[in-house]
Structure formats: C-alpha cells, structure tokens
Amino acid sequence: MTDKERLSLKAREVLALPNEERIRHILEDRWVGYTRANEIIAKLEDLLDHPKVGRMPNMLIIGNTNNGKSHLVEHFLSLHPATDNPVGAGIIVPVLLIEAPDKPDISHLYSIILDMLNAPYKSNDKEEIKLKQVIKVLNSIDLGIIVIDEIHNLIAGPLLKQRAYLNAIRYLGNKIKRSIVGVGTVEALRAIQVDSQLSNRFTPVVLPAWGLDKEFLRLLASLESIIPLRDPSNLIDKTMAMKLHAMSEGTIGELSTLINNAAVWAIRNTKAGEPERIDINALNKCGFIPPSLRKEVARKL
C-alpha cells in the first residue's frame, strides 16, 4: 500500500488542496461507522419499520457525554430525511428529531414539536390543549418515529415529576402509535428503572465508553484514513493508541476533537522536509485538554 492508498478517496482528493482548505475539511462534521453504532442504527431501523400496535416499543440510547449519541441519531436522520410529499395528504417525516428543553417542562416539549412542524398554537395554552394539538398534527402526517435528544433534561427534578414526564411521553406514543426513542445520559436510565412499567416500555441500549482494544484500534485506523495528511501517522501504534485513549478518556467525541486539533497543528507547524503527521509532539502541543482536567484549568484562571 502506498502512502496515498492509506487514505480514503475523498481524503486523497483533499490532499491536493491548499492548507487552509484541508484544515476546513478536517474540521467539518463527519460520520465514522463502528460496530456498536451500526448495531444501534439497526435497532432504530427496526423501530421505523414496526407495525402500528397498541403497545409500541420505545428505546433509550444511553451513553456518557460526548460519546457520540447525538451524532448517531443525526446520522440516522440523514438516512431518512423528511419530504414534502406533494401527491399525498401530509408530509413524510420518517424521523422527527427534537431536543428536549433544558428544563423539565413537558408543555415546552409540546411547543417544540409544534414549532418543528410549523403548526399554529398559542404559547400560553394549557398543557392539555397543546397535547391535543400535538396528537392531531402528528396523526395528520406520515410519521415514522420520534427521537428526543438530551432527554435527561426533561426528567430532571423530583422522582414524581420524572415519572410524570416519562408517562406523558409514553402516553403520547400510545396515542399516535409511534415508537419514541430517548437519547441521554445514565440519569435517564436511572429514572425509568425506578418504575417497572416504564422500564418495560423503554428498552435501554448503551453506547459504552471505549476500551483500549481491537475495536478502538479499528476506529483509529478509520479516523486516520479520512484525515488528509501527507504522511502516515500510524495511530494504531501501541504508544500512540495508549496516548490517544488516555487523552480522550474513552469518548469518541473527545477523540475526534483531539485528532482534528493535532492534524491542524501538524499542517500549520510542520517544516519543509519533515513528515506531516500526527505524532506525540502534535498531541502534546495542539492545545487539547482532557475532559477531567478542564475544571482544574478553569480554576487556575
């Protein structure tokens, strides 16, 4: 394999561009598939294809902050975009992706749904009125599933309120006969496990932290293949892999940011005649601070 063949076709094309365009490409959002993410996407496909029944299955995607949960559901949304459906009665929305409000307010959630679908409503309407409007609108379109990102925001607060919000979400799913997928941190899982009825209806699916294993090495190889650097970085080398895992603390979002920062540093700081690659020096000098050290850095300011 030649140096260029180690790169994806797109990365090879970008390699010929000026430095700043290469940097812009590196910093763009991108999807890198891996085993656990593909398994979860397959489960989401199953929910999308599920027939309408009285007791629709729901799911909770659980993971640490910055471990790829939101990116996964956004990628799933990109696979199933909404269409106007000019020949049909209502728009086609295979995946309605919404972000839970930052406060535990179910009425606000209903408002977000109505806003997403450009449906008229009065912001000061009572919760029950908004719910009726939401059910009416959702039943008037060709809807697949609803995905609520950051669902842990919605179920913050006292235990009784947590149950009330989860029951409201379950009730909505029952009325429209569509599956609802919550995406959040372990707090969401703890909330549903308190109530056996809720835990039976929301199946948890976990995106675990990454171990320093073969799957992590495959991820590093995939990431290196899409970064347009002129020389191989050999990220799967034992020393490099250990350094990357330690600095990213086992989360894919942090790992992606670290590799991006190091690649940009390498492009801007490699001198003529030196290899342009991510190495230990680039990792140390690119300005990345591991998540667990950020509070300590802030305290020193």
Judge if 189 and 88 occupy the same domain.
Answer: yes
The confidence score (pLDDT) of residue 3 equals 60
Q: What percent of the chain has pLDDT over 90?
A: 72
The confidence score (pLDDT) of residue 155 equals 78
The parent domain of residue 247 ranges over 4-30+226-300
**Residue bearing the bigger pLDDT, 297 or 132:** 132
- Across residues 191-214, what is the average pLDDT? 86
Judge if 159 and 266 occupy the same domain.
Answer: no
Which residue intervals of the chain are DSSP H helices?
9-15, 19-27, 35-49, 69-79, 106-116, 127-140, 151-154, 159-176, 186-193, 196-201, 214-225, 238-248, 252-269, 280-285, 294-300
Q: Tell whether the model's pLDDT for residue 2 goes beyond 60.
A: no
Cα gap 98→181, rounded to integer Å: 10
- Across residues 225-249, what is the average pLDDT? 97
Q: Tell whether the model's pLDDT for residue 1 goes beyond 50.
A: no
Question: Taking all residues of the chain, what is their mean pLDDT, rounded to a whole number?
Answer: 91
Q: Which three-class secondary structure state does DSSP give residue 88?
A: coil
Judge if 25 and 58 occupy the same domain.
Answer: no
The confidence score (pLDDT) of residue 214 equals 96
The confidence score (pLDDT) of residue 257 equals 97
- Across residues 17-37, what is the average pLDDT? 95
Residue 149 maps to a domain: yes
Read off the pTM.
Answer: 0.90
What are the CA-CA distances from residue 277 to residues 55, 95, 165 (Å)? 53, 39, 50
Residue 175 maps to a domain: yes
Q: Which three-class secondary structure state does DSSP give residue 227?
A: coil
The confidence score (pLDDT) of residue 11 equals 95
Judge if 56 and 143 occupy the same domain.
Answer: yes
Residue 97 maps to a domain: yes
For the ranges 18-27, 201-210, 223-232, 287-296, the lowest mean pLDDT is seen at 287-296
Q: How many domains does the chain have?
A: 2
Bridge partners (DSSP) listed for residue 20: none
Judge if 11 and 108 occupy the same domain.
Answer: no
- Across residues 93-119, what is the average pLDDT? 91
pLDDT per residue over 51-89, tens digit each? 998 889 999 999 999 999 999 999 999 999 999 877 777
At 94, which helix (H) or strand (E)?
strand 92-99
Judge if 10 and 153 occupy the same domain.
Answer: no
Banded model confidence at residue 300, pLDDT cuts 50, 70, 90: low
Residue 165 maps to a domain: yes
DSSP assignment of 192-207, as one string? Answer: HHTSHHHHHHEEEEEE
Judge if 59 and 90 occupy the same domain.
Answer: yes
- Across residues 241-263, what is the average pLDDT? 97
Q: Provide the 10 A C-beta neighbour count for residue 226.
A: 17
Judge if 136 and 233 occupy the same domain.
Answer: no
Judge if 25 and 41 occupy the same domain.
Answer: no
6-11: which pairs have CB atoms within 8 A and are 24 or more residues apart?
A: 6/224, 6/225, 6/232, 7/225, 7/226, 7/227, 7/228, 8/225, 8/226, 10/226, 11/225, 11/226, 11/227, 11/228
